[in-house]
């Protein structure tokens, strides 16, 4: 293909990626973390929302309204005093939202989410450049860009007003610098100043975007240590160490950029907004983190309708069966495509670095999860650290399948199909044999490569290009599944609970929840946002910071219940404390708690007192 064709293809991926990221972008109310992003980005504070007293929807939603007085300094001030995130993305969102959100009105949810979506779109050409740098192949670059455009996981992150797409963009840039540095050293050349400065700046911006960017830096450090170990083992490190000293300069520069945030980080550990990462129990329930991690990794490629919150169980089961069959069919081909790329002398270094980076990052996640008891697999969003590298590896595998477009041209390896001559340690091109040859290797017709789908003709045997198209179409279906919130990649859904409250309420509504920090405020904001004209009332029962109980808040709640006009409907939503409502003449509408949209609720009918 010529340059014009490649440009048109890249524009096509950009168009597809933009459409999926922006379609119905403002259809859902903001969920908990999005409310936090909007409030802090506007330079507002959650502390203006009264606690332990009945308030109206207008008071609850006031922090979501822009004010002309608030500037970036207010963004930084409130972020550091009330939250646990660095300020770069919030400052950019502040400037962005000033263009779309007039003061004294509710902020534009489209404006808040669109910045993250556009960063997500920017990841598509960034992935093209990333792939073209590490693989001297425009085909691999096109495949990687195409996968980034439709990856369900990438779509999921891009449609939230959160900082993860900017973090992914910076991870791509940082790992690009990593590859370029290792390649330059292997060519026995001094690292250029522009690379040194670029890598330091990107790393510092990454830390200023999300503190977990440090996990990417740790994984990169492991890759560099492995490179040094290989050179020591090959007795060439002594002659190459002159080329390594600038890596030390980069490490020092990056460390200084990280240490700037040390005072802030000291106040984060053990804080209320971060305690949820200890909710899991990986020391006893050791399989759950691994299972979740596999699910998040699979969602980078595949996501069919599977949302328990708003889909019938039958659809979820069918999606699960189809997903399993698709994985059984596609994974062997993806592995063969990956092996094709790995055995190419031109691609060996790139594959080595990418695989070691992904394995290193996953090992760090699991070490923190099992070693420190902080389960980093509880949230899908944290996997942004290694998701771009997996997408690139997927693109490389698809390129390998595409290049070997006929089944008869699949690579066949001598012996145990390692592709390495055992008499020497140098990588050589594997032998390619036609399918007609009598000496066909065992994995072409036996074992895992002959999947159930091929063996029982559940899917016709097709050539490599058609396989790539099928895999890409499935990924695209997954992208739209994520865009329309039909997959298991979901957060709190106030749009599901709010209509239930509206439908089943016969009298004025009071919604009460227990409150630890601004996260619970954000959950209630999402409900109020869905029907702001309903004039619902809210009560946030705040937990005492010293006694760690709700005794005082419950007493105040009881007192204010007696002062409200009767009758009214009381909805306890995510209420984590015992409470006696019988004395308040409040009768449960249903004997058990119910759940909707990741909220747990119970309705009480509060009648007039005698």
> When comparing pLDDT for 310 and 377, which is higher?
377
Residue 430 in this model has a pLDDT that exceeds 60:
no
- Considering the domain boundaries, does residue 253 fall inside one? no
76 vs 41: CA distance, rounded Å: 9
Q: What values do phi and psi take at 410, rounded to 5?
A: -60, 140
- The confidence score (pLDDT) of residue 444 equals 39
Contact 218, 254 (CB under 8 A): no
> When comparing pLDDT for 281 and 179, which is higher?
179
pLDDT band at 462 (very low <50, low <70, confident <90, very high): low
Residue corresponding to tokens 């009560």: 539
**∠8-12-17 over CA atoms, to 5°?**
150
Average pLDDT (452-460) is 43
Report whether the peptide linkage leading into residue 124 is cis, meaning its omega lies within 30 degrees of zero: no
Q: How many CB atoms lie within 10 A of CB 376?
A: 23
Find the length of the chain.
610
Express as a percent the part of the chain with pLDDT over 70. Answer: 88
Q: What values do phi and psi take at 603, rounded to 5?
A: -100, 135
Report the range out of 68-72, 216-220, 274-278, 422-426 with the highest average pLDDT.
Answer: 216-220
- Considering the domain boundaries, does residue 406 fall inside one? no
Average pLDDT (348-363) is 95
Contact 472, 505 (CB under 8 A): no
430 vs 411: CA distance, rounded Å: 7
Q: What domain range is 540 assigned to?
A: 494-606
pLDDT digits (tens, 9 = 90+) for 538-553: 999 999 888 889 999 9
Least confident of 146-155, 163-172, 427-436, 506-515: 427-436
Strands 594-596 and 537-542, by their bridges, are unpaired
Strands 586-588 and 599-606, by their bridges, are antiparallel
What are 596's two structure tokens? 């909707």
What are 474's two structure tokens? 């499935």
Residue 558 in this model has a pLDDT that exceeds 50:
yes
Residue 469 in this model has a pLDDT that exceeds 90:
yes
Mean residue pLDDT of the chain comes to: 87
Contact 396, 347 (CB under 8 A): yes
> Which residue, among 210, 198, 216, 218, has the nearest Cα to 261 in the 3D structure?
210
Distance in Å from the first CA to the final CA of the chain:
84
Whether this prediction's pTM lies above 0.85 is answered by: yes
Residue corresponding to tokens 């409040």: 586
Q: How far is CA 360 from CA 45, 83, 203, 256, 387, in A?
A: 39, 29, 18, 23, 13
pLDDT band at 294 (very low <50, low <70, confident <90, very high): very high
Domain count for the chain: 1
Tell whether the torsion through CA atoms of 167, 169, 173 and 179 is positive or negative.
positive
Express as a percent the part of the chain with pLDDT over 90. Answer: 66
- Considering the domain boundaries, does residue 536 fall inside one? yes
Contact 504, 603 (CB under 8 A): yes
Residue 86 in this model has a pLDDT that exceeds 50:
yes
- The confidence score (pLDDT) of residue 463 equals 74
Residue 18 in this model has a pLDDT that exceeds 80:
yes
- The confidence score (pLDDT) of residue 285 equals 80
What are 159's two structure tokens? 């449609």
- The confidence score (pLDDT) of residue 448 equals 35
563 vs 311: CA distance, rounded Å: 41
Contact 77, 21 (CB under 8 A): no
Average pLDDT (315-343) is 91
What are 32's two structure tokens? 């908990």
Q: How many CB atoms lie within 10 A of CB 410?
A: 22
- Considering the domain boundaries, does residue 596 fall inside one? yes
pLDDT band at 309 (very low <50, low <70, confident <90, very high): confident
- The confidence score (pLDDT) of residue 605 equals 94
Q: How far is CA 533 from CA 58, 106, 142, in A?
A: 9, 12, 48
What are 447's two structure tokens? 């074992």
Which helix (H) or strand (E) segment is 129 a member of?
Answer: helix 109-134
- The confidence score (pLDDT) of residue 100 equals 83
Residue 280 in this model has a pLDDT that exceeds 90:
no
409 vs 553: CA distance, rounded Å: 72
Residue corresponding to tokens 């911006």: 205
- The confidence score (pLDDT) of residue 539 equals 97
Residue corresponding to tokens 């502390």: 47
Give 183: exposed, middle or buried? Use CB within 10 Å, 0-12, 13-18, 19+.
Answer: middle
Contact 561, 608 (CB under 8 A): no
Contact 514, 576 (CB under 8 A): yes
- The confidence score (pLDDT) of residue 425 equals 40
- The confidence score (pLDDT) of residue 284 equals 78
Which residues is 600 bridged to in the sheet? 595
- Considering the domain boundaries, does residue 215 fall inside one? no
- The confidence score (pLDDT) of residue 266 equals 67
pLDDT digits (tens, 9 = 90+) for 159-195: 999 999 999 999 999 999 999 999 999 999 999 999 9
Which residues 6+ apart lie within 8 Å of 379 measured at CB? Answer: none
Residue 416 in this model has a pLDDT that exceeds 60:
no
Which residues 6+ apart lie within 8 Å of 101 measured at CB? Answer: 42, 66, 107, 108, 111
Tell whether the torsion through CA atoms of 83, 85, 87 and 93 is positive or negative.
negative
- The confidence score (pLDDT) of residue 83 equals 86
Q: How far is CA 461 from CA 199, 330, 453, 457, in A?
A: 46, 12, 9, 8
Residue 395 in this model has a pLDDT that exceeds 80:
yes
pLDDT band at 415 (very low <50, low <70, confident <90, very high): very low
Tell whether the torsion through CA atoms of 350, 126, 392 and 131 is positive or negative.
negative
- Considering the domain boundaries, does residue 288 fall inside one? no
Residue 269 in this model has a pLDDT that exceeds 80:
no
Contact 331, 411 (CB under 8 A): no
Residue 411 in this model has a pLDDT that exceeds 50:
no
- The confidence score (pLDDT) of residue 403 equals 82
Average pLDDT (1-26) is 93
Average pLDDT (431-446) is 36
- Considering the domain boundaries, does residue 107 fall inside one? no
- Considering the domain boundaries, does residue 506 fall inside one? yes
């Amino acid at each position: 293909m010529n340059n014009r064709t490649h440009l048109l293809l890249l524009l096509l991926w950009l168009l597809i990626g933009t459409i999926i990221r922006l379609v119905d972008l403002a259809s859902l109310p903001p969920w908990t973390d999005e409310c936090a992003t909007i409030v802090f980005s506007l330079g507002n504070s959650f502390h203006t929302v009264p606690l332990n007293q009945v308030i109206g929807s207008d008071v609850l939603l006031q922090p979501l309204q822009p004010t002309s007085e608030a500037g970036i300094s207010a963004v930084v001030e409130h972020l550091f005093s009330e939250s646990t995130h660095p300020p770069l993305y919030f400052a950019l969102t502040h400037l962005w939202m000033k263009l779309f959100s007039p003061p004294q009105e509710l902020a534009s949810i489209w404006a808040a989410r669109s910045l993250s979506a556009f960063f997500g779109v920017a990841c598509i050409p960034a992935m093209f450049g990333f792939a073209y740098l590490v693989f001297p192949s425009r085909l691999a670059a096109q495949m990687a860009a195409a996968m980034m455009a439709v990856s369900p996981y990438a779509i999921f992150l891009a449609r939230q007003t959160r900082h993860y797409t900017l973090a992914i963009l910076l991870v791509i840039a940082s790992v690009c610098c990593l590859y370029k540095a290792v390649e330059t050293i292997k060519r026995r050349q001094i690292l250029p100043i522009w690379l040194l400065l670029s890598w330091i700046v990107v790393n510092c911006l990454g830390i200023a975007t999300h503190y977990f960017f440090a996990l990417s830096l740790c994984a990169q450090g492991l890759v560099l240590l492995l490179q040094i170990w290989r050179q020591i083992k090959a007795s060439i490190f002594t002659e190459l160490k002159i080329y390594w000293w600038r890596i030390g300069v980069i490490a020092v520069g990056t460390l200084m950029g990280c240490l700037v945030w040390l005072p802030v980080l000291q106040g984060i550990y053990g804080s209320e907004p971060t305690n949820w990462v200890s909710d899991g129990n990986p020391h006893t329930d050791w399989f759950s983190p691994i299972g979740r991690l596999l699910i998040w990794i699979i969602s980078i490629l595949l996501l069919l309708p599977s949302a328990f919150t708003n889909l019938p169980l039958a659809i979820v089961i069918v999606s699960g069966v189809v997903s399993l069959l698709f994985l059984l069919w596609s994974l062997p081909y993806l592995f063969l495509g990956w092996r094709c790329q790995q055995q190419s002398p031109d691609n060996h270094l790139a594959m080595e670095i990418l695989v070691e980076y992904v394995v290193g990052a996953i090992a760090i996640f699991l070490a923190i999860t099992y070693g420190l008891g902080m389960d980093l697999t509880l949230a899908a969003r944290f996997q942004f650290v290694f998701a771009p590298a997996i997408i690139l590896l997927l693109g490389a595998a698809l390129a390998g399948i595409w290049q070997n477009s006929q089944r008869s041209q699949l690579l066949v390896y001598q012996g145990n199909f390692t592709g390495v001559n055992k008499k020497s340690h140098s990588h050589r091109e594997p032998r390619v044999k036609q399918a007609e040859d009598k000496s066909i290797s065992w994995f072409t017709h036996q074992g895992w490569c002959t999947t159930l789908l091929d063996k029982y003709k559940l899917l016709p045997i097709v050539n490599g290009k058609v396989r790539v198209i099928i895999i890409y179409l499935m990924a695209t279906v997954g992208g739209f599944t994520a865009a329309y919130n039909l997959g298991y990649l979901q957060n709190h859904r106030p749009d599901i609970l709010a209509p239930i409250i509206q439908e089943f309420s016969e009298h004025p509504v009071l919604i009460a929840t227990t409150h630890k920090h601004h996260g619970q405020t954000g959950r209630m904001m999402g409900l109020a946002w869905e029907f702001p004209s309903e004039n619902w009332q809210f009560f946030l029962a705040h937990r005492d910071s010293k006694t760690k109980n709700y005794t005082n808040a419950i007493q105040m709640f009881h007192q204010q219940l007696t002062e409200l006009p009767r009758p009214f409907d009381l909805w306890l939503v995510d209420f984590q404390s015992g409470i006696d409502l019988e004395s308040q003449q409040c009768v449960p509408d249903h004997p058990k708690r119910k759940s909707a949209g990741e909220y747990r609720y119970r309705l009480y009918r509060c009648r007039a007192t005698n």
